[in-house]
């Protein structure tokens, strides 16, 4: 187990290195940098002033030198300065991480709390009216675009309560934050819960057909014990995998939701930074999202052995 963890950790570092090279090169392959954007917006054509700005930002250095400076700074905890605000990149990024983390965590909790039990119920009541209703609901959740659902929720709130749950100031206290984030989290979590529900149902149906389930029923075990203690635990492995993927996705994939609900999170800030070619912000945000995704996948792999004792990692 220890050897596996060391080997997997080395693979994580290699993956992050590959991502860092990819994002660094791809950013500079996009036509135009921040100097081009600023000068075009201002209608200025002074080549010497543009070259001076590029020199101040280090954009005229060879790409290998720029990459080496960024990686060395990243290793020291120095993320550089934002080209747009001229503030330390860490000061720009750090306040937005908890906002997205709260929204993503609440959406993930919503998807698990509703997706797993309803998926089990749909499998246990296969081909019943309840099963048909839950399957329609899950397909609806997978089919609805996030932006449309978010706008629909806003319209319902305006019609019913005369107000819109829009982020204006940081919420004060737990209940205030819960009230503010619950609506956008439900909009995001509805799609995730539909996915979890569908996968839980299919995985449960496969497990319920196994011989050991029939044996447990023949021995007189209670239905709830067969369904939740024997079947669900063995059906959870693919579900846990999807939940881990969703957790990684939610940290950087909430662009539409954060825009619709005016939430100053990581995803929305990343899009703005890409538009302005703010390289330090984009590079560090992408690396943060990649690190979260890699770490979540690593934890999911370790969780497999906890859920299924038959799984053993080669040493």
Domains and CATH numbers, the chain: 2-93 (no CATH), 98-307 (1.10.3720.10)
User: So what's the pLDDT on residue 309?
Assistant: 65
- Confidence category of residue 44, pLDDT binned at 50, 70, 90: low
Burial of 19 (0-12, 13-18, 19+ CB in 10 A): middle
DSSP string for residues in 143-195:
HS-HHHHHHHHHHHHHHHHS------S---SHHHHHHHHHHHHHHHHHHHHHH
User: So what's the pLDDT on residue 165?
Assistant: 66
User: So what's the pLDDT on residue 253?
Assistant: 72
Burial of 222 (0-12, 13-18, 19+ CB in 10 A): exposed
pLDDT in tens, 65-80: 888 888 888 888 888 8
* pLDDT above 90 as % of the chain: 3
CA distance 67 to 286: 15
Residue, of 54 and 130, whose pLDDT is higher:
130
User: So what's the pLDDT on residue 313?
Assistant: 60
Nearest to 89, CA basis, from 77, 105, 98, 75? 77
Q: Which of 2-6, 71-75, 110-114 has the lowest mean pLDDT?
A: 2-6
pTM: 0.80
In this predicted structure, the answer to whether residue 278 has a pLDDT above a threshold of 70 is yes
Sign of the dihedral through C-alpha 141, 143, 148, 152: negative
- Confidence category of residue 184, pLDDT binned at 50, 70, 90: confident
* pLDDT above 70 as % of the chain: 90
C-alpha dist (Å) from residue 85 to 34, 59, 257: 12, 17, 24
- Confidence category of residue 35, pLDDT binned at 50, 70, 90: low
- DSSP code of residue 211: H
- DSSP code of residue 313: -
Which residue's structure tokens are 């921040």?
34
Q: Which of 5-9, 38-42, 141-145, 290-294 has the lowest mean pLDDT?
A: 38-42
* Contact yes or no for 267/253 (Cβ under 8 A): yes
pLDDT in tens, 220-275: 777 777 777 778 878 888 888 888 888 888 877 777 788 777 888 888 888 888 88
Residue, of 178 and 101, whose pLDDT is higher:
101
Mean of all residue pLDDT scores within the chain:
81
Residue, of 41 and 134, whose pLDDT is higher:
134
CA distance 224 to 314: 35
**Residues 6 or more apart whose Cβ sits within 8 Å of residue 15:** 290, 294
- The arithmetic mean of pLDDT across residues 127-152, rounded, is 84
Q: Which of 45-54, 94-103, 155-164 has the highest mean pLDDT?
A: 94-103
- The arithmetic mean of pLDDT across residues 284-303, rounded, is 86
User: So what's the pLDDT on residue 283?
Assistant: 87
**Residues 6 or more apart whose Cβ sits within 8 Å of residue 296:** 244, 247, 248
């Amino acid at each position: 187990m220890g050897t596996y963890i060391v080997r997997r950790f080395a693979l994580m570092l290699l993956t992050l290195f590959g991502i860092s090279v990819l994002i660094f090169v791809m950013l500079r392959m996009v036509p135009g940098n921040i100097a081009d954007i600023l000068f075009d917006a201002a209608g200025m054509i002074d080549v010497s002033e543009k070259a001076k700005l590029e020199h101040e930002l280090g954009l005229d250095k060879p790409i290998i030198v720029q990459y080496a400076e960024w990686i060395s700074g990243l290793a020291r905890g120095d993320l550089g300065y934002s080209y747009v605000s001229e503030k330390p990149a860490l000061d720009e990024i750090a306040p937005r991480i908890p906002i997205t983390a709260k929204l993503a965590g609440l959406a993930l909790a919503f998807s698990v709390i509703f997706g797993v039990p309803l998926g089990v119920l749909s499998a246990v009541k296969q081909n019943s009216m309840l099963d048909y209703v839950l399957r329609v609901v899950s397909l609806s959740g997978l089919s609805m675009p996030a932006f449309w659902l978010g706008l629909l929720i806003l319209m319902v709130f305006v019609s019913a309560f005369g107000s819109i749950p829009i982020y204006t100031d940081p919420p004060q206290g737990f209940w205030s934050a819960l009230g503010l984030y619950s609506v956008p989290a439900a909009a995001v979590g509805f799609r995730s819960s539909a996915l979890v529900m569908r996968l839980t149902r299919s995985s449960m149906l496969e497990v319920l057909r196994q011989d050991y389930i029939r044996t447990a029923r023949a021995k007189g075990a209670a239905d709830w014990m067969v369904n939740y203690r024997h079947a669900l635990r063995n059906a959870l492995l693919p579900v846990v995998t999807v939940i881990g993927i969703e957790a990684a996705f939610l940290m950087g994939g909430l662009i539409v939701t954060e825009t619709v609900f005016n939430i100053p999170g990581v995803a929305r800030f990343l899009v703005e930074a890409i538009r302005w070619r703010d390289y330090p912000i984009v590079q560090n945000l992408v690396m943060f999202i990649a690190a979260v995704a890699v770490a979540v996948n690593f934890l999911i792999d370790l969780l497999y052995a906890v859920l299924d004792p038959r799984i053993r990692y080669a040493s």
